[in-house]
Structure 1
Amino acid sequence: MKRISAILILNFFALSAACTQTPTTPTLTAKSWLLLDTNSNHVLASQDADVRVQPASLVKLMTGYLACAAIQDKKIALNQMVNVSNRAWKVDRDGSKMFIEPGTPVSIQDLLYGLIVQSGNDAAVAMAEAISGTEDTFVAQMNSTANIFGLKDTHFANSHGLPNPDNYSTARDLATLATHVVEDYPECYKIYSVKSFTYNKITQPNRNQLLSTDAGVDGIKTGHTAESGYSLIASANRANGSGNRRLIAVVLGAKSGNSRAQESARLLQWGYQNFDTIKLYGPRDIVATPKVWKGKEKQVKAGFLEDLYVTVPKGQSKKVKQVIEMNVPLFAPIAEGNKLGQIKVTVDDTVMLTRPIVALENVAQANIFSRLFDAAWLWANNTIDGLMKH
């Protein structure tokens, strides 16, 4: 049977005839960059966001993510002591390190802080070996996770980010990875805001300067090599109406440490000043109750399993309009989470987002007699519609 769309247009706010005004995109000297609103998953602005670069120590975001996953899954424990291999100790004698030593066991907790706060290359290798036995096995897990996250332009060659042609990523992929770091293990993410850490009687500061200059910034990671330049992924969380709004700025290939911090701060400020993020629906809010054929229930509750936000230019919130499109006819059985249609959110004629609408409940098939009745009714009405068109 031919599928048709039943379109229900809802005005979420009063409409205005004025055109959407897009804020002027800031100019940065960094090689590539991207600004993401994580609430709505909306990219506010970017430049060369899909150009592959060597990410340097930003690789440690994936190392840290897998360490947090291993801790939560109880594969390793914070109080677990591990031995330091010569490979970990020797990985980069002149680069960033936490100063672990062979023959001196170190706790997983100290390694985690040495990895995240001090950006220790030695900590990265030691953590990889503690989790997977060898760094090579761990790197395979890094790439497998990148594939799961949909990081199409990312590949890892080591756990620390020292130069290697097979270490590459993009601003867009790194923003996605950073979002997972922030959201998937929130307790572990708190470490990214720690300003300094002492190990082996040596205190080292977190190289993310924005932690000390912007109260809203709570992470995430810096990176630098001679080839890649200076990079920073900065995440800020600020009040937005009744909740909080998180922005992630990815700045790659800046000319200096100060430049990466200044340009990241500019991006974050620009995003907060020029855009608003609106919560449209909460988890399991009912958006529609379309008819179901051949089911024990005659209708199904439809909506979203997670919060739905939209980001719009500042002052444009009253122009938000929703177009809800349901796929009809719908037939049982229907399982919770099945896609039933989609929502398009627009400002003036600009589509701001499109998201699937899903079933919020299961609907089982009806008995044979009810199914036959519905089939006959649909056949009769389809036949009548066909005759009327001729």
Structure 2
Amino acid sequence: MLLDHQSGAVLYQHNADERVEPASMAKLATVALTLDLVRRGALGLDDTMVISEHAWRTGGAPARGTTMFAELGSEVSVDDLLHSAIIQSGNDATIALAEGIAGSETAFAGLMNQFGAEIGLTNSHFTNPSGLPDPEMYTTARDLAYLARYIIREFPEYYPVFSAEAFEWNGIFQRNRNDLLGQVGIDGLKTGSTGSVGNGVVVSTTEGGRRLVGVVHGLATAQQRTDEVRRLITWGATSFDRIPAFSDGTIIGHASVYGGAVSQVGLVGASGVDIFLPKNNRQCLRGNISYQAPLLPPVRAGDQIAYLNIFCDDQQIQSVPLYAATDIEAGGIFRRATDALWELAFGWLPF
């Protein structure tokens, strides 16, 4: 999966909705949820969490996995636990966060799933905060890309932690486990690997003058992961011309509203729409707007209800989310009856 961060436009996808184990990339959801709690004032970065025996045995030194080597019974600040989760991929750190916030990993996983649904992760299910193998836990490349985009957009003041070269805790110095940092402009986010699913990574880069978010997963070796990411990012950064198409607030099209006070709602981009066309091939452009009909009221301004699909030589090269420009309330009895008769006579035909 490769998308443009600013617009959310999908530049490339292959099996992007195939369910896979997230491995340590699940820690991105733990980090996002924790930072959201901090933003809302429910948690402080200086608050401390206790390293329980479960966190120590399951995610600490005895487990022989990625760990911050926190001592049993010690108290660690939320900020340090977040740094460890991001930089060291500390399993003990994420378990301590889960237990401190929700009381147990299971309860925290429930919060992760609720939070994921709220931010648009439609095909993910988390059962623990660290990504340790569990057959009931899954995500997709698309959801991981959307999760990364959420973190970059919502927590810009904390995002630099993802590019930190190392983190030292309790006298133990560990380098960032993301070995792709600095390559083709990559400044985050998270690697993950297990014996059953292979090697994956969620990356972001400003290579080529715009921020891209990419995900690859299921590679047999870490070197293959590196090679695949370099190819994906290099292609995305060098193969497109950016063409401003619609300014912020411009109505791009309309979607029909069945039984609404008015029959259509205008569609806009999140902050204007840029189209990325393959270099030296501007004559190939074709586009359409798609949405799930019938669209029922009430519709709220800002609801994501459609996509602008861009094609070049009959191959889709971009998909841009479109949002309702205005509120549409339910229509009166006469309006609803008219639409019902139309549907009975002709079926649902967007107009």
Give TM class, smaller chain.
0.7 to 0.9
In the TM superposition, 1:338-349 aligns within 5 A as none
Write out aligned runs for 1:64-75 (5 A).
64-75=31-42
Out of 279, 304, 307, the position equivalent to 2:244 is: 279
Cα offset, 1:137, TM superposition: 1.4
> Aligned pair in 2 of structure 1 residues 196, 315: CA closer, same or farther (>3 Å)?
same
Alignment partner of 1:207 out of 177, 191, 206? 177
1:37 counterpart residue number: 4
Residues 144 and 286 (structure 1 numbering): CA distance in 2 closer, same or farther, change over 3 Å?
A: closer
2:15: which partner in 1? 48
* 8 Å CA contact retained: 2:202, 2:215: yes
Comparing 46-55 with 349-358, which one deviates more in the overlay?
349-358
Which protein shows a greater Rg?
Answer: 1
- Would the aligned equivalents of 1:343 and 1:357 in 2 still touch at CA under 8 Å? no
Task: Quickly say closer, same or farther: Cα 1:47–1:75, change in 2 above 3 A.
Answer: same
1:236 corresponds to:
205
Match of 1:119 among 89, 114, 117: 89
Q: Deviations over 1:153-188 (max 9, x none)?
A: 321111101111011112222222222122222222
- Distance in 2, matches of 1:324 and 1:250, equals 26
Secondary structure in structure 1 of the residue aligned to 2:245? strand
Change (3 A) 1:285 1:66: same
Q: How far apart are residue 278 of structure 1 and its match?
A: 3.0
Partner in structure 2 of residue 256 of structure 1: 221
Q: SS of the residue aligned with 1:47?
A: coil
Count of residues in Structure 1 that have an aligned counterpart in Structure 2? 309
Cα offset, 1:347, TM superposition: 5.2
Give the aligned partner of residue 221 of structure 1.
Answer: 190
Report whether the alignment pairs 1:247 with 2:217. Answer: no
Q: 1:342 to 1:187 in 2, by over 3 A?
A: closer
Are 2:101 and 1:131 equivalent residues in the alignment?
A: yes
Q: 4+ residue runs of structure 1 moved beyond 6 angstroms?
A: 321-325, 338-344, 348-351
Letter in 1 for 2:71: E
Number of the residue aligned with 1:87: 54
Contact in 1 for aligned 2:269/2:320 (Cα 8 Å) = no
Q: 2: CA distance between counterparts of 1:344 and 1:361?
A: 24
Aligned to 2:334: none
Letter in 2 for 1:195: E
How much does 1:225 deviate? 1.4
Q: Which moved more, 1:69-78 or 1:35-44?
A: 35-44
CA drift of 1:286 comes to 6.8
Q: TM-score, normalised by structure 2?
A: 0.76
Equivalent-residue separation in structure 1 for 2:143 and 2:106 (angstroms): 22
1:143 and 2:108 equivalent?
no
AA of the residue aligned to 1:209: D
Question: Of residues 58, 76, 90 in structure 2, which corresponds to 1:106?
Answer: 76
2-side partners of 1:54 and 1:339: how far apart? 27
Q: Which amino acid aligns with 1:87?
A: H
> What is the match of residue 167 of structure 2?
197
Q: What's the offset of the Cα at 1:277?
A: 3.2
Q: Taking structure 1 as reference, are residues 70 and 346 closer, same or farther at Cα in structure 2, changes over 3 Å only?
A: same
Structure 1 counterpart of 2:281: 316
CA distance in 1, matches of 2:163, 2:307: 38
What residue ranges of structure 1 are gaps of 5+ in the alignment? 1-33, 289-299, 326-333, 363-390
| Bigger relative contact order (CA 8 A; separation at least 6) | 1
8 A contact 1:320–1:345 mirrored in 2: yes
Q: Equivalents in 2 of 1:306, 1:105: separation in Å?
A: 43
Give CA deviations for 1:63-82 in whole Å, capped at 9, x if unaligned: 01111111111111112222
Alpha carbons of 1:311 and 1:110: their partners in 2 closer, same or farther (altered >3 Å)?
same
User: Match of 1:295?
Assistant: none
Name the CA shift for 1:88/1:324 in 2 (closer, same or farther; >3 Å). closer
Distance change in 2, residues 1:110/1:273 (3 Å): same
Q: How has the CA–CA distance of structure 1 residues 344 and 152 changed in structure 2, closer, same or farther, with 3 Å as cutoff?
A: closer
Q: What is the alpha-carbon root mean square deviation over aligned residues?
A: 3.4
Checking the alignment, whether the CA contact within 8 Å between 2:270 and 2:323 is kept in structure 1 is no
- Deviation per CA, 1:222-281: give whole Å up to 9, x if none: 0111112111111111353xxxx2222211121222221221111100111212333333
- Aligned 8 A contact 2:10 2:320 in 1: no
Task: State the one-letter code of the partner of 1:187.
Answer: E
Give the Cα–Cα distance (whole angstroms) in 1 for the partners of residues 303 and 138 of structure 2: 36
SS at match of 1:163: coil
**Is 2:132 the counterpart of 1:165?**
no
Q: Secondary structure at the residue paired with 2:88?
A: coil
Query: Does the aligned pair in 1 maintain the 2:7–2:320 contact within 8 Å?
Result: no
In 2, Cα distance between the equivalents of 1:115 and 1:207?
A: 10
